[in-house]
Amino acid sequence: MYRIKKDDNVKVISGNYKGQTGRVLRLIGNNNRALVEGINKVKKHMRPSQENPQGGIIEKEMSIHLSNLMLLEKSKVVKVSFKILDNGKKVRVNRKNNNIIK
C-alpha cells in the first residue's frame, strides 16, 4: 500500500518541477512511480498513422518517482503513516494530528 493513491493532490518536493502541484493520474507500481497531471512534460515526435494522419510533436506527462512527491491535504503537505482500525481495515493517517486521510 502506497502513501499516495490515484486522484490524490500532490506537491513535487525535488527536481525540475519543485514546488508545483498536480493530481495523480496513474500509479506505476513495479517502479514506484506516478503520472502527475501537468508535471514532467516532454515533447514526443509522433509518426503519421491512421489515428493521427498528420503526425507531429505532442506534449505528454512522463512518470515521476514517488519519493519526489508529498501528499497535499487542504493545500498543505502532510506526512502519511498507516493505522489499523478496530475492524481490521488499514487506513492512511496524517502524522501531525492523527486524522484519517480519505
Whole-model pTM: value is: 0.83
Q: Please report which helix (H) or strand (E) contains residue 90, including its range.
A: strand 90-94
Q: In whole angstroms, give the CA distance from residue 58 to residue 49.
A: 14
Contact 69, 4 (CB under 8 A): yes
Per-residue CA distances from 45 to 56, 75, 101 (Å): 6, 36, 40
pLDDT above 80 (res 97):
yes
Domains in the chain with CATH codes: 9-72 (2.30.30.30)
Q: What is the pLDDT of residues 35-94, one digit of tens each?
A: 999 999 999 999 999 988 999 999 999 999 999 999 999 999 999 999 999 999 999 999
pLDDT above 80 (res 33):
yes
pLDDT confidence bin for 102, thresholds 50/70/90? confident
